[in-house]
A and B are shown apart, each in its own frame.
Chain A
Amino acid sequence: MLQKSETLRGYSLLTPTLIIMAIGILVPFGILIAMSFWTQVGFGFDLTPTVANYEMAADRPIYGALIKRSLWMSGMATIATVLLCYPMAYFVAFHVHRNKMMWIVLMTLPFWTSYLLRVFAWKVVLGYDGVINSALLSVGLIDAPLEFLLYSQTAVIITLAHAWAAFAILPMYVSLEKIDRSLLEAATDLGDGPVMRFFRITLPLSLPGVISATLLIFIPTTGDYITPALLGGPDGIMIGNLIQKQFGAVNNWPMGAALAIILMLSIAAIALGFMFSTMFVRRRIT
């Protein structure tokens, strides 16, 4: 009796949030899915259900190629971010003894500030007339600006990795911090040097953090369109840019909706595959 009323009171406190989330996520997703089966007619829609949008997405190679490229680019950015951030998380967890909080705040501070401006900053750095090129030119290391810096997939990957670094550090830090130090001492005591100890104890025990970091970066970056729009050039365009165009200049919302659904499904498939494979690997390495 008491428990029931407690549950009820708990959920009543959650109601405003749940309503907002339902309005903001569930309902829109329902309509998005429905719309992906509609047809754009001028500025209105033909509501007759059809899979034409999906057929078109399957038929025209551009769509598949863009989705593949998006997954590949954000996959690269994710790997780069996780690899670069893991040592940092490790450092703060094991080698910072005073002012730990200060380090965490310092590392995560940029994440809270404008994404647009951080991407913009990389345009300033990598641009044709940008910081790197003009600096190299003025000291005489190069004769003409390096063109590959801006408007390339590399530029997009670098920027994504930089922009999402803080997001990767936190979960990895938390799972590293949780590791009982005596386990590491026990491994050493039983004959493991630092490298073996890392691969046999530290890495397997911090794997949950690595997995969440990977998903937390991979999923949102796949749909990014700001970075490719500012830094990608024609080769660096991602699926997000195409979806955005369907809702803007192209004005084919149902096609955009279908592409968004396809993107979500591919992300979900890859994320699930990733989680299963890490579980498998985890069994193997231990």
Chain B
Amino acid sequence: MKPDSYIERTNRPLQFYAVLFLIVLYVPVLFLPLFSFNDSIYVKFPLKSFTFQWYLELLDRAPVWASLMNSIKVAVTTSIIATGFGIFAAKAITRYRLPGRGPVVGFIMLPLVVPGIILGVALLVLISQLGIRLSLYTVTVGHIIVCLPFAIATMIPRFEGFDKSVEEASADLGENAWWTFWRVTFPMVFPGVLASLLLTFTVSFDEFIMAFFLSGSDATLPIYIWGQLRFPQAFPSILALASIILVVSFILVFLGQWINRGAGAGSLESTKNT
């Protein structure tokens, strides 16, 4: 299909709409960094002078550093476990004849759809009934459950993207299943694994609802921010903190998507040329 054929010919109003859509999608978020450099404790126009003050103020806040470390601990653990389990799950789903595959996959993807609050209170109820104290560990368990579907969904296209016969060739050349996985399968799905690590790290790092119900006295960064939203005088430095988190998240997610562009997108890329 040529780009200028009758069906796919240029549609100006639609192009205009698309650009407008992207602007509306991004502009509200961009106000956070904008006001984080504004030398006023009020978040309003007109802008006052430019300042780094709110960022510097963050450095002096011990709870910010503490909750940052908590978030990193949780997010690193979550991303490694979710991605690790996700590799095996994605391989099982794509490579083996599984009776009842549809319902099983649907079940695994459930956390993507179930309202966060329901998942959160259900886990809270379980944990309290087991007599376990709320801590960063309980938050991590909640995050693994939220992140596993993302990890699997990110890696499935990677496994689908290469031919099973490559693995069979390796077996034919005398490697056992374990070494076939490490020498053939893993290198081929590696971009998906890396993308999954980055994406699940970001999701966990930014996650609020599970952390809200499942964290004890140690707050993660989003919980800390939630607590500070009540204090108007803290607003500007929260803007600065939010800006940093947003920028870092955007970079990590973009990196993840970019690394994995051959796959999840792969299906998109291949349809493009038909």
Contacts and interface: CB of A to CB of B under 8 A. Distances in A.
Interface of A: 3, 6-7, 9-11, 13-14, 16-18, 20-21, 23-25, 27-29, 31-32, 35, 84, 87-88, 90-92, 94-95, 97, 100-101, 104-110, 112-118, 120-122, 124-125, 127, 129-131, 133-135, 137-138, 162, 165, 177-178, 181, 184-185, 188, 215-216, 219-226, 230, 240, 243-244, 247, 253, 256-257, 260, 263-264, 267
Interface of B: 1, 3, 6-8, 10-11, 14-15, 17-18, 21-22, 24-26, 28-29, 31-32, 35, 42-46, 85-86, 88-89, 91-93, 95-99, 104, 107-108, 110-119, 121-126, 129, 141-142, 144-145, 148, 152, 199, 202-203, 206, 208-209, 213, 222, 225-226, 229, 238-239, 242, 245-246, 249-250, 253-254, 257-258, 261, 265, 268-269, 271-272
A95 B10 contact: yes
Q: Chain B CB within 10 Å — which of A29, A106, A117, A222 has the most?
A: A117
B19 to A, nearest CB: 10
A127 B43 contact: yes
B7 A104 contact: no
B92 A117 contact: no
B31 A14 contact: no
Nearest to A137: B45
Given A112-B202, A113-B206, A129-B44, A24 B14 contact: no
Given A14-B104, A17-B86, A20-B145, A247 B10 contact: no
24 contacts: A20-B145, A21-B148, A23-B126, A24-B123, A25-B107, A28-B126, A87-B18, A88-B17, A91-B15, A95-B8, A101-B265, A101-B269, A114-B206, A115-B209, A116-B225, A118-B28, A122-B28, A131-B31, A184-B7, A185-B6, A222-B115, A260-B117, A260-B122, A264-B118
B88 A223 contact: no
Given A31-B125, A104-B268, A116 B108 contact: no
Chain B interface main SS type:
helix
Contacts of A17: 85-86, 88-89, 108, 148, 152
Nearest to B8: A94
Contacts of A127: 43
Given A100-B268, A107-B22, A243-B121, A14 B44 contact: no
9 cross-chain pairs, A with B, having the tightest CB-CB distances, nearest first: A223-B115, A10-B96, A134-B44, A28-B122, A24-B145, A114-B206, A13-B92, A113-B249, A134-B45
B95 A10 contact: yes
Nearest to B11: A95
Nearest to B86: A17
Contacts of A32: 118, 121-122, 125
Contacts of A263: 115, 118
B122 A25 contact: yes
A225 B268 contact: no
